[in-house]
Structure 1
Amino acid sequence: MASHKILVIDDSKVIRMRVRDMLPKGNFEVLEAKDGVEGLNLIRQEHPNLIMLDFLLPKMSGWEVFQHIQSDATLQSIPLVLMSGRKEEVTEKLQEPFEFFEFIEKPFENKELIDAIKSAMAKARLPRTGKIAAPAAAATAPAAAAAAGGGADAAEVKALKEQVARMQAEINALKKQTAQILAFIKQKLK
């Protein structure tokens, strides 16, 4: 019996099969959805342990599915890996760094997939201070908080310090990954 349900929402059967093949055998039940509507229905019915979501989908886009997930407190805690062949499609709507989900660019290799899943699981455990806002709303939020004044300042400073600490941890992890990649390339060039 599989201990974890992974939902792969992608209109490409090749990507869905590739993810299924890359996962360690016996540990996962892989559920598949070919469009956003089917994916959202499966999320609500099956309560998966992980969601892998393509950003461009028929019927309901990955962006719309993402917004549904973020607006439901019971779904926010599910680790999420967004997938796209073009990262700029995602960063157009969601600003980096991606705080509560992971992003993987297609096509990807086995190690990249496993690393993205591990990172998504770690990010899903982070405490949330609010909903993920769209870029336009995110830009106006600091001004609104400043206008509210007083007691919000200390909480805002604390939240910013926590965010800086998380970002520093991500930077350190990226530096480590870069060093590993360079070591791998040097090894292959010998």
Structure 2
Amino acid sequence: MASHKILVIDDSRVIRMRVRDMLPQGNFEIVEAQDGIEGMDAIRSQRPNLIMLDFLLPRMSGWEVFQEIQTNPELQRIPLVLMSGRREEVAEKITEPFEYFEFIQKPFEQKELIEAIKGAMMKARKPRPKTTAAMVTAPAATAAEGSISPAEFQALQAQVGQLQAEVNQLKGQLSKMLAFIKQKLK
């Protein structure tokens, strides 16, 4: 009998099968869902020990599933691994570093999957502030009211810092290229 139940919510049959094949045989029962609605139904009925959630899903997006999980204190305790082919899609909606869940970029190898599962289990144990549900609300809601939440402000500050670092790096590269060109023109 499998000791751990893992719910894999992904519209790609290949990814669902890949996860199944990468996990040690006999230790895990894999439950599959093809979209966000099936995934939420499975979360409620199956009570998995771990959720692997694709960020881009039909019918109900991974973002919407994530929001529903985060607003329910009982579901928050389930370790969560978010999956996406592009990290920036996730980081647009959820600020990094990802404090309460793990992220894995597709395609992934077995070692990466196992590490993500271990990380998700550790992060799920972290105590959460009472305002977690408020932090998960869509940015459009606060923008419409003309105010910005502290979490959104912090996320914007982090993005500005990251962009400034990239600009500084590009300036350095440009000055090196100019120096090289000037040297070749002499």
Instruction: Work out whether 1:92 is the aligned partner of 2:89.
Output: no
- Specify which of 140, 148, 168 is matched with residue 149 of structure 2: 140
Instruction: Work out whether 1:108 is the aligned partner of 2:108.
Output: yes
* Equivalent runs, 1:4-153 vs 2, <5 Å: 4-130=4-130, 131=132, 133-134=135-136, 136=139, 140-141=149-150
SS in 2 for 1:103: strand
CA distance in 1, matches of 2:114, 2:21: 12
Q: Given residue 34 of structure 1, which amino acid in structure 2 is its aligned partner?
A: Q
SS in 2 for 1:78: coil
SS in 1 for 2:93: coil
Q: CA deviation at 1:129?
A: 1.2
Moved over 4 A (4+): none
Q: CA deviation at 1:108?
A: 0.1
**What TM-score do the two structures reach when normalised by structure 2?**
0.73
Q: CA deviation at 1:29?
A: 0.2
Q: CA deviation at 1:140?
A: 2.1
Q: How many residues align?
A: 143
CA distance in 2, matches of 1:127, 1:24: 30
Q: CA deviation at 1:53?
A: 0.1
**What TM-score do the two structures reach when normalised by structure 1?**
0.72
Structure 1: tracts of 5 or more residues without a match = 143-190
Q: Given residue 85 of structure 1, which amino acid in structure 2 is its aligned partner?
A: G
SS in 1 for 2:26: coil
Q: Given residue 105 of structure 2, which amino acid in structure 1 is its aligned partner?
A: E
Q: What residue number does 1:186 align with?
A: none
Residue-by-residue CA offset, 1:76-112 (whole Å, 9 max, x unaligned): 0000000000111100000100000000000000000
CA distance in 2, matches of 1:85, 1:76: 24
Q: Given residue 86 of structure 2, which amino acid in structure 1 is its aligned partner?
A: R
Residue-by-residue CA offset, 1:157-188 (whole Å, 9 max, x unaligned): xxxxxxxxxxxxxxxxxxxxxxxxxxxxxxxx
Q: Given residue 27 of structure 1, which amino acid in structure 2 is its aligned partner?
A: N
Larger Cα-atom Rg:
2
CA distance in 2, matches of 1:51, 1:36: 12
CA distance in 2, matches of 1:109, 1:40: 26
Q: Given residue 141 of structure 1, which amino acid in structure 2 is its aligned partner?
A: P
